[in-house]
A = this chain, B = another copy of it.
Amino acid sequence: MQNMPLLGIDIGGTKIAFAIFSEEGSIISEETILLGKRDGDDAGMLITGGIRKLIDSASRIGIRITSAGISVPGIYHVSTGRVWTPNIGGWEDYPLLEKVREETGEIPVVIDSDRSCSILGEVWQGNARGCTNAVYLAVGTGIGAGILVNGTILRGSHDIAGAIGWMALSMPYDERYAGYGCFEYNASGDGVARVASDLLAENPGYSGYLSSIDQRELKAEHLFEAYDKGDSLAADTFSKCIAYWGMAVANLISLFNPEKIIIGGGLFGPALRFLPAIKAEAERWAQPVSSRLVMIEPSALPCKAALFGAAFLAKRNISNKIKE
């Protein structure tokens, strides 16, 4: 198997990244288009049109795409080829595989969720190379986990395994967790701002950096700014979030006994400064032997783990066909 260019596509909530990869994992060319306000079939046609254009223009310069993989920001149902993506309107049960196949013809296509693609990307070209048991913990606007078990993605009975944003980590239950889950409510990008808002409400005398910001506009980035200025409320916010991140990592260690846990997503990023503190917190809680054996690392492919994973899906899909 030589010279088999792969097409990787990462559909996000706001934009779509297309890239042609060599089978060895280098990006040959790359393009991003904005999703805009498109929904339903309009969003679908933007993607299938982009694929068509890319296949054609590649073919004009002598590159014949042999296989395509797509990462979707939500859930992929492997038995039906349909996707559920909360941030694209009308995609509650969208037949993406069917739509894409109409465009790609003989080129095989395979789809999976962004969290599954992210761990596969790290296994192929990132910090989980060579691992067969590894987890990608994605902390951004939401929180999810891509989990590799014995070299295979953990899907569960209905393709919704890895919903770690729902992990219960602190009693008592709070009605505000509904719609997010305990972990995501407290420790996603928006969660950081929520924790800070609660602390601000509890500290009416506070007059630091954050008091100059309209509370309705408070975002994680303000907390990082405040933290860098030595703000105590920001420090308290992150110390709470570090406890959540550390406990979640510990629970992944105890349950899965993985070789690696990769921490990525938009917040890691800036929150990588807390990685030593998160490791220390995880070590207190986790099964001690598994804890000694695991490596906890940042993503080696920031913003691109899912794109690489989509191309790896494409690669594995033709390798399997060749084996058959």
Any B CB within 8 A of the CB of A203: no
Copies of this chain in the oligomer: 2
**Chain B contacts of A293 at CB under 8 A?**
157-158
Any B CB within 8 A of the CB of A154: yes
**Chain B contacts of A172 at CB under 8 A?**
243
**Contacting pair A243 B152 (CB below 8 A):** no
1/0 contact string of A148-188 vs chain B (CB within 8 Å): 01101011111111111111111111000100011000000
Task: Give the docked Cα–Cα distance between A169 and B133 (Å).
Answer: 24
**Chain B contacts of A149 at CB under 8 A?**
149-150, 154
**Chain B contacts of A285 at CB under 8 A?**
166, 168, 173, 177, 181-182
Task: Give the docked Cα–Cα distance between A157 and B243 (Å).
Answer: 25
Any B CB within 8 A of the CB of A257: yes
Q: How far does the Cβ of A221 sit from chain B's closest Cβ, in whole Å? A: 26
Task: Give the docked Cα–Cα distance between A68 and B184 (Å).
Answer: 46
Any B CB within 8 A of the CB of A247: yes
Across the two chains, which residue of chain B brings its CB closest to A170? B171
Q: Interface size on A (CB < 8 Å)?
A: 48
**Contacting pair B247 A168 (CB below 8 A):** yes
**Chain B contacts of A255 at CB under 8 A?**
145, 147, 161-164, 167, 255
Q: How far does the Cβ of A199 sit from chain B's closest Cβ, in whole Å? A: 15
Q: How far does the Cβ of A237 sit from chain B's closest Cβ, in whole Å? A: 15
Any B CB within 8 A of the CB of A201: no
**Chain B contacts of A156 at CB under 8 A?**
133, 256-258, 290
Q: Measuring CB to CB, which residues of chain A are less than 8 angstroms from any residue of chain B?
A: 132-133, 145, 147, 149-150, 152, 154-173, 177, 181-182, 243, 247, 250-251, 254-259, 281, 284-287, 289-290, 293
